[in-house]
Structure 1
Amino acid sequence: MPGTRIVVVGGGFAGYHAAKELTRTLPAGAAEVVLVNPTDYFLYLPLLPEVAAGILDPRRVSVSLPGTLPGVRLVLGEVTGVDLDGRQLTYTDPEDRTATLGFDRLVLAAGSVHKLLPIPGVAEHAHGFRGVPEALYLRDHVTRQIELAAATDDPKERDARCTFVVVGAGYTGTEVAAQGPAFTRALAARHPELAGQPIRWMLLDVAPRVLPELDERLGRTADRVLRERGVDVRMETSIDEADAEGVTLTTGESVPARTLVWCVGVRPDPLVDAMGLDTEQGRLVVDTRLAVPGHPDVFACGDAAAVPDLTRPGKLTAMTAQHAVRQGKLAARNVAASLGHGQAKAYRHHDLGFVVDLGARQAAANPLRIPLAGLPAKAVTRGYHLMSMPGNRLRTGVDWLLDTLTRRQTVQLGLVRSAAVPLDTSAPEVPKIRR
């Protein structure tokens, strides 16, 4: 038993909590727990829109893996292949070196990537929103558009640079569109040349309403707040084409714009397809105990796994952080049970509600199915995030306080170039730093 190695692939919500639960569940010295992840931090994704809007420092949502997972060995790298029969995986480290790592138990929590649609121009001209580099790039890009708008005398160019199109009215897209107007208003206030200049934010989705996956009352609340802030909300509408000058909507309308934010959804990490195992809706097939059929030493959880929803027969659990956290913990306990510590159990989820931050003093929440809006929802939302974050709580709270009391910082940092954050995950990578 001391020679047993458990490898967790992915340090997102599912992988992080799987690794943490393994150290709690297993007796000291029973096994080595190894976490393979491209970065040395856990990203608290729900607060990323506040990073893009200049409210939070990016370090607040980047929680150190070594600092918060004592007893877990971190291996920096991107897993590129898994040999299930040989119980070995291959990964590429940040300096582009290839290495292998053996395992006795494997937890696949590789997460998800952008979901692209076959729409001309999207991969080349849209900006994704799945990580800190993308949030920093978007913040710089939006800042740059306002500054370039102030510098031009061409009214058509100024209008285009002051138009921001967000596609996808789910959690992320709604929060980006909700945070956007206050951010661009703060940017424009520094430029007298933009006095009276309309700044337009658009939110598009093919769904019939905002936040279609949530309770209808929450969707109505979010829709009302967005419209009150001047966001042009267009439901049952998307884009047919994008180029450097703007987008063409499915209605045929042409919208000159220099900013297209893609928040349509996600798909499982490409590693899932590369493994050659059975999938459902692109996700790795698992049983109710999160084990991969035919491979009792392999478990999967989070966005990469097609976990049966026992509360909705015939359905799969949604790709949400709430599911990922719980599945990660259960996968860890079931791995421990496979090693003789505890008893394996099936995954059964009971919805505790959802929270959506709408910026300023607005939010929509339904904790324990109690619909809330306004300040009460805001308090619940921020309280929930602080409790859910595995670190950086005090610093996050201080940033929120400073945003209330002072003007937000509005400068370009120039740390991330567009080539470093391609929307198409199959696009050639930017050359990695070498020593």
Structure 2
Amino acid sequence: MKSLRDAIQLRAQILRHLEEANFECNSAERQSLLTFVVAGGGFAGVETVAALNDFVRDALPFYPNLGEGMLRVVLVHSGPVILPELGESLGRHTQKVLEGRGVEIRLNTRVKSMTENKIFLPYTTPIPCSTLVWTAGTVPSPLISPLPCAKERGRITVNQFLQVSDWPDVWAVGDCAFVPDIKNPGKSHPPTAQHAIREGKVVAQNIAAALLGRPGKPFSFKTIGLLASIGRRTGVARIFGYNFSGFLAWWMWRTIYLSKLPGLDKKVRVAFDWTLDLIFPKDVCAVHDLSYHRDFHRLESVKEAAGGNGDYQPSTS
């Protein structure tokens, strides 16, 4: 789960599996279709499993042959507590809330392997499942790995001025950079948007300073807060060291994201859409993503009609 395209495909697959399960006579096959597993208990995994669980259960009334007892939503996490970035207290609270909504949580375990309709975990029986959402960790862009420079955990190592260690005239920021935390020696800044945005501003200043022969500015930033939505208009948050949960945390989560949208028109449109979401039930219509191949073949057809150089070629027939 990384892009909007992934989300559209996941939504379409969930609805397709509900449609198939509604008329499936084989109980084993139906169980596989109605089991959804999310690997990874960080922010992406918890928010995904919470939204998925809500969506599937909201869609059930449209399928008369299915019941909530047939559904199985599983979150697999390698650590002892989910949402470890928010601390054990909020992690335990989130686990309790999700389990109360029917989510099965497997801690201290990893997905070992999978087939088309089974997922294998260590030291336990396979889980019959046809949908696995992978959020367990991210890696930098594959463009980074072949670069002949020092790396840490796959990311380019930089100094406090965000200069690449081996190439002082090259800077790196964001997910691809291992940025040292000068206030906590031996540790690095997390690859989150909060830090990346501020790294971008500092690196711009440092590039300008380098061109003018002036000293650079070291990067230092402390996380303001972390928030997560856990479904049903509830959330968890840790802001300036204080913990929040429930509707207030969810409201703060939405408000902060709304404030980040560019332009007043987009803010108003999204706020209006979110307001309608508070009043009306979820829309469970299927939205299918068009394949890349269609656009590719269409482009090739246009090239054939227009000519290789893009100029129009009149028909000779």
Match of 2:10 among 138, 150, 158: 138
SS of residue matched to 1:189: helix
Q: Compare 252-261 and 317-326 and name the one that shifted more.
A: 317-326
Match of 2:122 among 250, 267, 275: 250
Cα distance change on mapping 1:196 and 1:315 into 2, 3 Å:
closer
Partners of 1:313 and 1:343 in 2: CA distance: 22
After TM superposition, give the deviation of residue 416 of structure 1 in Å: 4.5
* TM-score normalized by the length of structure 1: 0.65
Aligned to 1:309: 181
Matches within 5 A, 1:17-416: 129-195=1-67, 197-340=69-212, 344-391=216-263, 392-416=266-290
Partners of 1:195 and 1:229 in 2: CA distance: 15
* TM-score normalized by the length of structure 2: 0.87
CA contact (8 A) 1:136 1:416 kept: no
CA contact (8 A) 2:118 2:126 kept: yes
CA contact (8 A) 1:167 1:260 kept: yes
The amino acid across from 2:102 in the alignment is: G
CA contact (8 A) 1:333 1:342 kept: no
Cα distance change on mapping 1:209 and 1:294 into 2, 3 Å:
closer
SS of residue matched to 1:225: helix
Partners of 1:134 and 1:229 in 2: CA distance: 25
Higher helix content, 1 or 2: 2
> Relative CO higher for 1 or 2, CA cutoff 8 Å, sep ≥ 6?
1
The amino acid across from 1:346 in the alignment is: P
For 1:379-427, what per-residue CA distance to the aligned partner results, in whole angstroms no more than 9, with x for missing partners? Answer: 211111112333532222222212211122212222145x98xxxxxxx
Partners of 2:211 and 2:148 in 1: CA distance: 26
SS of residue matched to 1:135: helix
For 1:297-338, what per-residue CA distance to the aligned partner results, in whole angstroms no more than 9, with x for missing partners? Answer: 321101100110112211121122222121122112212222
SS of residue matched to 1:354: strand
SS of residue matched to 1:380: helix
Partners of 1:350 and 1:316 in 2: CA distance: 11
SS of residue matched to 1:394: helix
CA contact (8 A) 1:137 1:416 kept: no
SS of residue matched to 1:239: coil
For 1:217-266, what per-residue CA distance to the aligned partner results, in whole angstroms no more than 9, with x for missing partners? Answer: 22122112211111001101222220011111112221111100000011
Higher strand content, 1 or 2: 1
SS of residue matched to 2:171: strand
SS of residue matched to 2:74: strand
Unaligned residue ranges in structure 1 (runs of 5+) = 1-128, 421-429
**TM-align CA RMSD:** 2.1
Unaligned residue ranges in structure 2 (runs of 5+) = 303-317
Partners of 1:195 and 1:309 in 2: CA distance: 51
The amino acid across from 1:320 in the alignment is: T
| Alignment coverage as a number of residue pairs | 297
SS of residue matched to 1:409: coil
Partners of 2:282 and 2:167 in 1: CA distance: 52
For 1:256-286, what per-residue CA distance to the aligned partner results, in whole angstroms no more than 9, with x for missing partners? Answer: 1110000001111111122221111111111
- Overall identity of the aligned pairs, in %: 33
Cα distance change on mapping 1:291 and 1:404 into 2, 3 Å:
same
Partners of 1:416 and 1:231 in 2: CA distance: 31
SS of residue matched to 1:268: coil
Partners of 2:299 and 2:3 in 1: CA distance: 19
Partners of 1:280 and 1:168 in 2: CA distance: 22
Partners of 1:379 and 1:341 in 2: CA distance: 47
Structure whose CA Rg is larger:
2
SS of residue matched to 1:157: helix
CA contact (8 A) 2:227 2:235 kept: yes
CA contact (8 A) 1:245 1:258 kept: yes
Moved over 6 A (4+): none
The amino acid across from 1:210 in the alignment is: I
